[in-house]
Amino acid sequence: MSSCCLDKNDELAKFFSRNNCVTCLKFVCFSVISRCGHCKRLKPEYAKAAELVKDDDPPIKLAKVDCTEAGKETCSKYSVSGYPTLKIFRQDEVSQDYNGPREALGIAKYMRAQVGPASKNVRSLEELVKFLDTKETSIFGNFEDIDSKLAKIFLKFADKNREKYRFGHSSDEEVLKKNGETDKIVLIRAPHLSNKFEASTVKFEGESDLSTFVKENYHGLVGHRTQDTSRDFQNPLITAYYSVDYQKNPKGTNYWRNRVLKVAKEFAGQISFAISSKDDFQHELNEYGYDFVGDKPVVLARDAKNLKYSLKDEFSVENLQDFVEKLLAGELEAYIKSEAVPESNDAPVKVAVAKNFDDLVINNGKDTLIEFYAPWCGHCKKLTPIYEELAEKLQDEEVVIVKMDATANDVPPEFNVRGFPTLFWLPKDSKSKPVSYNGGREVDDFIKYIAKEATSELKSFDRDGRPKKTEL
Protein backbone atom coordinates (compact mmCIF):
# COMPACT_ATOMS: atom_id res chain seq x y z
CA MET A 1 0.00 0.00 0.00
CA SER A 2 1.17 3.53 -0.77
CA SER A 3 -0.33 4.85 2.48
CA CYS A 4 -1.43 2.95 5.54
CA CYS A 5 -4.34 3.35 7.91
CA LEU A 6 -3.41 3.51 11.59
CA ASP A 7 -6.43 3.36 13.86
CA LYS A 8 -4.72 2.59 17.14
CA ASN A 9 -2.04 4.37 19.11
CA ASP A 10 0.28 1.35 19.07
CA GLU A 11 -0.10 1.06 15.27
CA LEU A 12 1.21 4.61 14.87
CA ALA A 13 4.17 3.74 17.10
CA LYS A 14 4.87 0.67 14.93
CA PHE A 15 4.67 2.85 11.83
CA PHE A 16 7.29 5.18 13.27
CA SER A 17 9.57 2.30 14.26
CA ARG A 18 9.33 0.72 10.80
CA ASN A 19 10.37 3.99 9.17
CA ASN A 20 12.74 5.25 11.84
CA CYS A 21 15.61 6.61 9.79
CA VAL A 22 17.25 10.00 10.05
CA THR A 23 16.19 11.14 6.57
CA CYS A 24 12.68 9.65 6.65
CA LEU A 25 9.79 12.08 6.66
CA LYS A 26 6.39 10.93 7.91
CA PHE A 27 3.14 12.62 6.95
CA VAL A 28 -0.01 11.73 8.89
CA CYS A 29 -3.57 12.74 8.07
CA PHE A 30 -6.00 12.72 10.99
CA SER A 31 -9.56 12.66 9.66
CA VAL A 32 -13.16 11.54 10.04
CA ILE A 33 -14.03 10.25 6.57
CA SER A 34 -17.49 9.09 7.62
CA ARG A 35 -18.88 12.57 8.26
CA CYS A 36 -16.39 15.23 7.14
CA GLY A 37 -16.82 16.65 3.62
CA HIS A 38 -13.30 18.12 3.55
CA CYS A 39 -11.89 14.71 4.53
CA LYS A 40 -13.78 13.00 1.71
CA ARG A 41 -12.43 15.50 -0.82
CA LEU A 42 -8.87 15.08 0.46
CA LYS A 43 -8.92 11.26 0.54
CA PRO A 44 -8.29 10.56 -3.20
CA GLU A 45 -5.71 13.36 -3.50
CA TYR A 46 -3.87 12.05 -0.43
CA ALA A 47 -3.82 8.55 -1.94
CA LYS A 48 -2.46 9.90 -5.26
CA ALA A 49 0.23 11.84 -3.41
CA ALA A 50 1.28 8.66 -1.61
CA GLU A 51 1.72 6.95 -4.98
CA LEU A 52 3.79 9.83 -6.31
CA VAL A 53 6.31 9.77 -3.43
CA LYS A 54 6.40 6.03 -2.61
CA ASP A 55 9.74 5.44 -4.38
CA ASP A 56 11.40 8.71 -3.36
CA ASP A 57 14.88 8.78 -1.89
CA PRO A 58 15.10 10.18 0.76
CA PRO A 59 11.90 8.33 1.59
CA ILE A 60 8.58 9.98 2.44
CA LYS A 61 5.95 7.85 4.16
CA LEU A 62 2.26 8.72 4.36
CA ALA A 63 -0.26 7.42 6.84
CA LYS A 64 -3.81 8.24 7.91
CA VAL A 65 -5.72 7.94 11.17
CA ASP A 66 -9.52 7.79 11.44
CA CYS A 67 -10.34 9.75 14.57
CA THR A 68 -13.53 7.82 15.28
CA GLU A 69 -13.63 4.83 17.60
CA ALA A 70 -10.27 2.98 17.47
CA GLY A 71 -8.27 6.02 16.38
CA LYS A 72 -9.79 8.36 18.96
CA GLU A 73 -6.94 7.91 21.47
CA THR A 74 -4.30 8.63 18.83
CA CYS A 75 -6.00 11.83 17.73
CA SER A 76 -6.41 12.97 21.32
CA LYS A 77 -2.70 12.41 21.96
CA TYR A 78 -1.80 14.82 19.15
CA SER A 79 -4.46 17.43 20.09
CA VAL A 80 -6.49 16.98 16.92
CA SER A 81 -9.63 19.09 17.16
CA GLY A 82 -10.56 19.74 13.51
CA TYR A 83 -10.69 17.59 10.41
CA PRO A 84 -8.72 16.88 8.42
CA THR A 85 -5.61 17.75 10.44
CA LEU A 86 -2.26 17.00 8.79
CA LYS A 87 1.03 16.81 10.65
CA ILE A 88 4.60 16.24 9.52
CA PHE A 89 6.73 13.96 11.71
CA ARG A 90 10.51 13.57 11.86
CA GLN A 91 11.46 10.40 13.67
CA ASP A 92 8.47 9.96 15.99
CA GLU A 93 8.07 13.64 16.90
CA VAL A 94 5.76 16.23 15.35
CA SER A 95 7.91 18.55 13.22
CA GLN A 96 5.18 20.94 12.08
CA ASP A 97 1.55 21.24 11.14
CA TYR A 98 0.92 20.96 7.41
CA ASN A 99 -0.64 24.04 5.80
CA GLY A 100 0.22 23.32 2.18
CA PRO A 101 -1.81 22.41 -0.92
CA ARG A 102 -4.63 19.85 -0.85
CA GLU A 103 -4.10 18.46 -4.36
CA ALA A 104 -1.91 15.41 -5.06
CA LEU A 105 0.84 17.18 -7.02
CA GLY A 106 0.94 20.03 -4.54
CA ILE A 107 1.14 17.67 -1.56
CA ALA A 108 3.97 15.69 -3.18
CA LYS A 109 5.89 18.85 -4.09
CA TYR A 110 5.48 20.30 -0.58
CA MET A 111 6.63 17.10 1.11
CA ARG A 112 9.60 16.62 -1.21
CA ALA A 113 10.67 20.14 -0.34
CA GLN A 114 10.91 19.11 3.32
CA VAL A 115 13.61 16.49 2.74
CA GLY A 116 17.15 16.97 1.51
CA PRO A 117 18.47 20.14 -0.12
CA ALA A 118 16.18 22.73 -1.72
CA SER A 119 17.68 22.07 -5.16
CA LYS A 120 18.51 18.63 -6.60
CA ASN A 121 22.20 18.37 -7.51
CA VAL A 122 22.24 16.64 -10.92
CA ARG A 123 25.59 14.87 -11.30
CA SER A 124 25.27 13.13 -14.69
CA LEU A 125 23.31 13.05 -17.94
CA GLU A 126 21.45 10.03 -16.63
CA GLU A 127 20.33 12.00 -13.57
CA LEU A 128 19.38 14.92 -15.82
CA VAL A 129 17.06 12.70 -17.87
CA LYS A 130 15.49 11.43 -14.66
CA PHE A 131 15.09 14.97 -13.26
CA LEU A 132 13.36 16.19 -16.42
CA ASP A 133 10.95 13.24 -16.41
CA THR A 134 8.28 15.16 -14.51
CA LYS A 135 4.84 16.71 -14.82
CA GLU A 136 5.97 19.84 -13.00
CA THR A 137 7.53 23.09 -14.11
CA SER A 138 11.14 23.25 -12.91
CA ILE A 139 13.80 25.91 -12.37
CA PHE A 140 17.28 24.68 -13.29
CA GLY A 141 20.70 26.23 -12.72
CA ASN A 142 23.81 25.48 -14.78
CA PHE A 143 26.95 26.55 -12.90
CA GLU A 144 30.58 25.90 -13.73
CA ASP A 145 31.42 27.31 -10.31
CA ILE A 146 28.89 26.52 -7.57
CA ASP A 147 30.33 29.44 -5.57
CA SER A 148 29.66 31.97 -8.33
CA LYS A 149 27.41 34.99 -7.72
CA LEU A 150 24.66 33.58 -9.97
CA ALA A 151 24.78 30.20 -8.21
CA LYS A 152 24.47 31.85 -4.80
CA ILE A 153 21.44 33.86 -6.00
CA PHE A 154 19.85 30.66 -7.31
CA LEU A 155 20.48 28.54 -4.20
CA LYS A 156 19.26 31.29 -1.87
CA PHE A 157 16.05 31.64 -3.89
CA ALA A 158 15.60 27.85 -3.96
CA ASP A 159 15.97 27.58 -0.20
CA LYS A 160 13.39 30.33 0.33
CA ASN A 161 10.89 28.83 -2.15
CA ARG A 162 11.50 25.10 -1.74
CA GLU A 163 7.82 24.44 -0.92
CA LYS A 164 6.47 26.30 -3.95
CA TYR A 165 8.77 25.46 -6.86
CA ARG A 166 10.86 22.53 -8.08
CA PHE A 167 14.61 23.18 -8.35
CA GLY A 168 17.63 21.42 -9.82
CA HIS A 169 21.19 22.42 -10.65
CA SER A 170 24.38 20.96 -12.02
CA SER A 171 28.10 21.59 -12.34
CA ASP A 172 28.73 18.36 -14.23
CA GLU A 173 30.75 18.96 -17.39
CA GLU A 174 28.58 16.75 -19.62
CA VAL A 175 25.36 18.28 -18.32
CA LEU A 176 26.67 21.81 -18.87
CA LYS A 177 27.77 20.86 -22.40
CA LYS A 178 24.34 19.44 -23.21
CA ASN A 179 22.55 22.47 -21.81
CA GLY A 180 24.66 24.82 -23.90
CA GLU A 181 25.96 27.35 -21.36
CA THR A 182 28.10 27.16 -18.26
CA ASP A 183 26.32 29.84 -16.25
CA LYS A 184 22.58 30.28 -16.65
CA ILE A 185 19.26 29.77 -14.91
CA VAL A 186 16.33 28.50 -16.95
CA LEU A 187 12.67 27.91 -16.25
CA ILE A 188 11.55 24.64 -17.85
CA ARG A 189 7.78 24.43 -18.27
CA ALA A 190 5.94 21.21 -17.52
CA PRO A 191 5.84 18.98 -20.66
CA HIS A 192 2.04 18.83 -20.77
CA LEU A 193 1.94 22.64 -21.02
CA SER A 194 4.28 22.76 -24.03
CA ASN A 195 2.80 24.60 -27.02
CA LYS A 196 3.75 26.31 -30.29
CA PHE A 197 2.93 29.81 -29.05
CA GLU A 198 5.76 30.15 -26.51
CA ALA A 199 9.12 28.59 -25.71
CA SER A 200 9.23 25.59 -23.38
CA THR A 201 12.27 27.04 -21.62
CA VAL A 202 12.90 30.65 -20.60
CA LYS A 203 16.34 31.95 -19.67
CA PHE A 204 16.86 34.30 -16.74
CA GLU A 205 18.72 37.27 -18.20
CA GLY A 206 19.36 39.02 -14.89
CA GLU A 207 17.50 42.18 -15.92
CA SER A 208 15.08 41.75 -12.99
CA ASP A 209 15.46 39.84 -9.77
CA LEU A 210 14.98 36.09 -9.90
CA SER A 211 11.74 36.22 -7.93
CA THR A 212 10.15 38.60 -10.45
CA PHE A 213 11.39 36.50 -13.36
CA VAL A 214 9.81 33.32 -11.98
CA LYS A 215 6.50 35.01 -11.14
CA GLU A 216 6.24 36.52 -14.61
CA ASN A 217 7.11 33.34 -16.49
CA TYR A 218 6.09 30.37 -14.34
CA HIS A 219 2.56 29.95 -15.69
CA GLY A 220 3.26 31.10 -19.24
CA LEU A 221 0.81 32.85 -21.54
CA VAL A 222 -2.13 30.76 -20.31
CA GLY A 223 -1.58 29.22 -16.89
CA HIS A 224 -3.33 26.21 -15.41
CA ARG A 225 -5.10 27.86 -12.51
CA THR A 226 -5.94 25.41 -9.71
CA GLN A 227 -7.25 25.86 -6.19
CA ASP A 228 -3.67 25.71 -4.93
CA THR A 229 -2.26 28.20 -7.48
CA SER A 230 -5.19 30.64 -7.77
CA ARG A 231 -3.36 33.28 -5.71
CA ASP A 232 -0.61 33.40 -8.33
CA PHE A 233 -2.99 34.97 -10.84
CA GLN A 234 -3.60 38.68 -10.39
CA ASN A 235 -6.15 40.98 -12.05
CA PRO A 236 -6.71 41.94 -14.78
CA LEU A 237 -7.36 38.29 -15.62
CA ILE A 238 -9.34 36.32 -18.20
CA THR A 239 -10.16 32.71 -17.30
CA ALA A 240 -11.65 29.96 -19.46
CA TYR A 241 -13.61 27.40 -17.44
CA TYR A 242 -14.22 23.92 -18.88
CA SER A 243 -13.37 20.25 -18.24
CA VAL A 244 -9.68 20.81 -17.47
CA ASP A 245 -8.14 17.42 -16.61
CA TYR A 246 -4.47 16.79 -17.33
CA GLN A 247 -4.63 13.35 -15.69
CA LYS A 248 -7.41 11.74 -17.71
CA ASN A 249 -7.71 13.96 -20.78
CA PRO A 250 -4.58 16.04 -21.51
CA LYS A 251 -5.27 16.13 -25.26
CA GLY A 252 -8.81 17.44 -24.80
CA THR A 253 -7.64 19.93 -22.19
CA ASN A 254 -4.99 21.35 -24.51
CA TYR A 255 -7.43 21.46 -27.44
CA TRP A 256 -9.21 24.40 -25.79
CA ARG A 257 -6.12 25.83 -24.10
CA ASN A 258 -4.40 26.17 -27.48
CA ARG A 259 -7.30 28.29 -28.73
CA VAL A 260 -7.02 30.54 -25.70
CA LEU A 261 -3.26 30.68 -26.27
CA LYS A 262 -3.77 31.91 -29.82
CA VAL A 263 -5.58 34.97 -28.46
CA ALA A 264 -3.36 35.40 -25.39
CA LYS A 265 -0.30 35.66 -27.65
CA GLU A 266 -1.77 38.83 -29.18
CA PHE A 267 -2.25 40.51 -25.79
CA ALA A 268 0.89 39.44 -23.93
CA GLY A 269 1.83 42.00 -21.28
CA GLN A 270 -1.59 43.70 -21.35
CA ILE A 271 -3.72 41.14 -19.50
CA SER A 272 -3.26 37.67 -17.97
CA PHE A 273 -4.97 34.48 -19.13
CA ALA A 274 -5.70 31.18 -17.42
CA ILE A 275 -7.72 27.98 -17.69
CA SER A 276 -9.55 26.43 -14.73
CA SER A 277 -11.57 23.31 -14.07
CA LYS A 278 -15.26 24.14 -14.12
CA ASP A 279 -15.85 21.60 -11.33
CA ASP A 280 -13.16 23.00 -9.02
CA PHE A 281 -14.34 26.59 -9.49
CA GLN A 282 -18.11 26.22 -9.61
CA HIS A 283 -18.33 28.82 -6.84
CA GLU A 284 -16.72 31.39 -9.16
CA LEU A 285 -19.08 30.47 -11.99
CA ASN A 286 -21.99 30.96 -9.61
CA GLU A 287 -20.74 34.50 -8.95
CA TYR A 288 -21.45 35.24 -12.63
CA GLY A 289 -24.82 33.45 -12.69
CA TYR A 290 -23.60 30.20 -14.29
CA ASP A 291 -25.02 27.02 -12.78
CA PHE A 292 -23.85 24.79 -15.64
CA VAL A 293 -21.02 24.75 -18.17
CA GLY A 294 -21.38 22.63 -21.31
CA ASP A 295 -18.69 21.23 -23.60
CA LYS A 296 -17.30 24.58 -24.71
CA PRO A 297 -15.46 26.90 -22.31
CA VAL A 298 -17.14 29.72 -20.46
CA VAL A 299 -14.94 32.83 -20.38
CA LEU A 300 -15.03 35.17 -17.41
CA ALA A 301 -12.87 38.18 -16.60
CA ARG A 302 -12.00 40.65 -13.87
CA ASP A 303 -10.42 44.00 -14.58
CA ALA A 304 -7.89 45.91 -12.49
CA LYS A 305 -10.73 47.26 -10.30
CA ASN A 306 -12.03 43.70 -9.74
CA LEU A 307 -15.17 44.39 -11.77
CA LYS A 308 -16.60 41.30 -13.48
CA TYR A 309 -17.24 40.61 -17.17
CA SER A 310 -18.36 37.55 -19.13
CA LEU A 311 -18.14 36.48 -22.76
CA LYS A 312 -21.83 36.20 -23.64
CA ASP A 313 -21.30 34.75 -27.11
CA GLU A 314 -20.39 31.11 -27.70
CA PHE A 315 -16.68 30.43 -27.27
CA SER A 316 -14.55 30.79 -30.39
CA VAL A 317 -11.16 32.31 -31.13
CA GLU A 318 -12.83 35.19 -32.95
CA ASN A 319 -15.34 35.89 -30.17
CA LEU A 320 -12.63 35.73 -27.50
CA GLN A 321 -10.45 38.13 -29.52
CA ASP A 322 -13.32 40.60 -29.80
CA PHE A 323 -14.13 40.23 -26.08
CA VAL A 324 -10.55 41.03 -25.03
CA GLU A 325 -10.31 44.02 -27.34
CA LYS A 326 -13.54 45.51 -25.97
CA LEU A 327 -12.54 44.76 -22.37
CA LEU A 328 -9.23 46.59 -22.77
CA ALA A 329 -10.98 49.49 -24.51
CA GLY A 330 -13.48 49.83 -21.66
CA GLU A 331 -16.42 49.09 -23.98
CA LEU A 332 -17.99 46.25 -21.98
CA GLU A 333 -20.68 46.52 -19.35
CA ALA A 334 -19.62 44.96 -16.05
CA TYR A 335 -21.65 42.01 -14.78
CA ILE A 336 -23.32 42.72 -11.45
CA LYS A 337 -24.89 40.00 -9.35
CA SER A 338 -27.94 41.59 -7.78
CA GLU A 339 -31.30 40.86 -6.27
CA ALA A 340 -34.24 42.77 -7.69
CA VAL A 341 -34.62 46.33 -6.45
CA PRO A 342 -37.31 46.30 -3.72
CA GLU A 343 -40.68 47.61 -4.94
CA SER A 344 -41.10 49.40 -1.61
CA ASN A 345 -38.30 50.59 0.66
CA ASP A 346 -40.29 52.44 3.32
CA ALA A 347 -39.16 50.48 6.41
CA PRO A 348 -36.73 52.24 8.80
CA VAL A 349 -33.92 49.91 7.70
CA LYS A 350 -33.41 50.45 3.98
CA VAL A 351 -32.62 47.43 1.80
CA ALA A 352 -29.72 47.81 -0.63
CA VAL A 353 -29.03 45.51 -3.56
CA ALA A 354 -26.22 45.81 -6.07
CA LYS A 355 -28.43 47.57 -8.63
CA ASN A 356 -29.52 50.37 -6.27
CA PHE A 357 -26.36 50.54 -4.13
CA ASP A 358 -24.98 53.77 -5.54
CA ASP A 359 -28.31 55.61 -5.27
CA LEU A 360 -29.22 54.31 -1.83
CA VAL A 361 -25.79 54.33 -0.17
CA ILE A 362 -23.24 56.42 -2.05
CA ASN A 363 -25.31 59.25 -3.53
CA ASN A 364 -28.00 59.69 -0.86
CA GLY A 365 -26.55 62.95 0.49
CA LYS A 366 -26.65 61.67 4.08
CA ASP A 367 -24.41 59.91 6.60
CA THR A 368 -24.92 56.17 6.25
CA LEU A 369 -24.44 53.05 8.35
CA ILE A 370 -24.56 49.85 6.28
CA GLU A 371 -24.61 46.24 7.42
CA PHE A 372 -23.46 43.44 5.10
CA TYR A 373 -25.07 40.22 6.27
CA ALA A 374 -25.74 36.59 5.33
CA PRO A 375 -29.23 35.07 5.79
CA TRP A 376 -27.78 31.99 7.50
CA CYS A 377 -25.58 33.95 9.94
CA GLY A 378 -26.57 33.58 13.61
CA HIS A 379 -24.84 36.80 14.66
CA CYS A 380 -26.72 38.65 11.91
CA LYS A 381 -30.05 37.29 13.12
CA LYS A 382 -29.22 38.40 16.66
CA LEU A 383 -28.39 41.89 15.40
CA THR A 384 -31.62 42.28 13.35
CA PRO A 385 -33.99 43.55 16.11
CA ILE A 386 -31.27 45.84 17.49
CA TYR A 387 -30.58 47.28 14.04
CA GLU A 388 -34.29 47.83 13.42
CA GLU A 389 -34.69 49.62 16.77
CA LEU A 390 -31.70 51.83 15.92
CA ALA A 391 -33.24 52.74 12.56
CA GLU A 392 -36.55 53.63 14.23
CA LYS A 393 -34.80 55.93 16.72
CA LEU A 394 -32.97 57.75 13.89
CA GLN A 395 -35.83 58.00 11.38
CA ASP A 396 -35.95 61.80 11.60
CA GLU A 397 -32.17 62.29 11.43
CA GLU A 398 -29.92 62.95 8.44
CA VAL A 399 -28.64 59.38 8.81
CA VAL A 400 -29.61 56.35 6.71
CA ILE A 401 -29.50 52.84 8.20
CA VAL A 402 -29.01 50.23 5.45
CA LYS A 403 -28.54 46.48 5.14
CA MET A 404 -27.49 44.30 2.21
CA ASP A 405 -27.37 40.52 1.71
CA ALA A 406 -23.73 40.09 0.71
CA THR A 407 -24.33 36.51 -0.46
CA ALA A 408 -26.91 37.52 -3.08
CA ASN A 409 -25.35 40.78 -4.28
CA ASP A 410 -21.93 41.90 -5.45
CA VAL A 411 -20.23 44.01 -2.80
CA PRO A 412 -18.27 47.01 -4.16
CA PRO A 413 -14.50 46.34 -3.90
CA GLU A 414 -13.87 49.23 -1.49
CA PHE A 415 -15.86 47.37 1.17
CA ASN A 416 -13.68 44.58 2.59
CA VAL A 417 -16.29 42.06 3.72
CA ARG A 418 -14.74 38.87 5.10
CA GLY A 419 -17.26 37.84 7.72
CA PHE A 420 -20.80 38.52 8.83
CA PRO A 421 -22.11 40.87 9.93
CA THR A 422 -19.69 43.53 8.69
CA LEU A 423 -20.66 47.18 9.19
CA PHE A 424 -19.32 50.39 7.64
CA TRP A 425 -19.89 54.07 8.41
CA LEU A 426 -19.94 56.46 5.44
CA PRO A 427 -19.88 60.20 6.19
CA LYS A 428 -21.92 62.01 3.55
CA ASP A 429 -19.00 64.08 2.24
CA SER A 430 -16.43 61.26 1.97
CA LYS A 431 -18.29 58.20 0.68
CA SER A 432 -15.18 56.99 -1.17
CA LYS A 433 -13.55 56.07 2.16
CA PRO A 434 -15.90 53.82 4.15
CA VAL A 435 -14.91 53.42 7.80
CA SER A 436 -15.11 49.96 9.33
CA TYR A 437 -17.41 49.94 12.39
CA ASN A 438 -15.91 47.83 15.17
CA GLY A 439 -17.86 49.12 18.16
CA GLY A 440 -20.47 47.48 20.36
CA ARG A 441 -23.59 45.88 18.94
CA GLU A 442 -26.25 47.30 21.30
CA VAL A 443 -28.54 50.21 20.35
CA ASP A 444 -26.79 52.60 22.79
CA ASP A 445 -23.39 51.66 21.34
CA PHE A 446 -24.53 52.54 17.82
CA ILE A 447 -26.16 55.80 18.90
CA LYS A 448 -23.07 56.98 20.80
CA TYR A 449 -20.90 56.25 17.76
CA ILE A 450 -23.24 57.90 15.25
CA ALA A 451 -23.86 60.93 17.51
CA LYS A 452 -20.12 61.51 17.72
CA GLU A 453 -19.30 60.85 14.04
CA ALA A 454 -22.33 62.45 12.35
CA THR A 455 -21.49 65.28 9.98
CA SER A 456 -24.16 67.48 11.60
CA GLU A 457 -25.21 67.12 15.22
CA LEU A 458 -28.26 64.89 15.61
CA LYS A 459 -31.61 66.48 16.44
CA SER A 460 -32.46 64.04 19.24
CA PHE A 461 -29.00 63.30 20.71
CA ASP A 462 -26.01 65.38 21.72
CA ARG A 463 -22.48 64.55 20.62
CA ASP A 464 -22.08 62.14 23.56
CA GLY A 465 -25.19 60.22 22.54
CA ARG A 466 -27.35 61.53 25.37
CA PRO A 467 -31.00 62.27 24.52
CA LYS A 468 -31.70 65.98 24.21
CA LYS A 469 -34.33 67.47 26.48
CA THR A 470 -37.42 68.56 24.65
CA GLU A 471 -38.81 71.95 25.63
CA LEU A 472 -42.50 72.17 26.56
Catalytic residue IDs: 36, 39, 377, 380
DSSP 411: P
Rounded Cα distance between 284 and 302, Å, is 11
Torsion angles phi and psi, residue 311, rounded to 5: -80, 110
Lay out the sheet containing 183-188: strands in order across. Answer: 120-121, 166-170, 138-143, 183-188, 201-203
For the purposes of burial, counting CB atoms within 10 Å of the CB of 205, is it exposed (0-12), middle (13-18) or buried (19 or more)? exposed
Rounded Cα distance between 99 and 118, Å, is 18
* Vertex 251 angle, CA 245 and 252, to 5°: 65
User: Which sign does the torsion angle of CA 111, 116, 118, 124 carry?
Assistant: negative
Rounded Cα distance between 458 and 394, Å, is 9
Rounded Cα distance between 65 and 75, Å, is 8
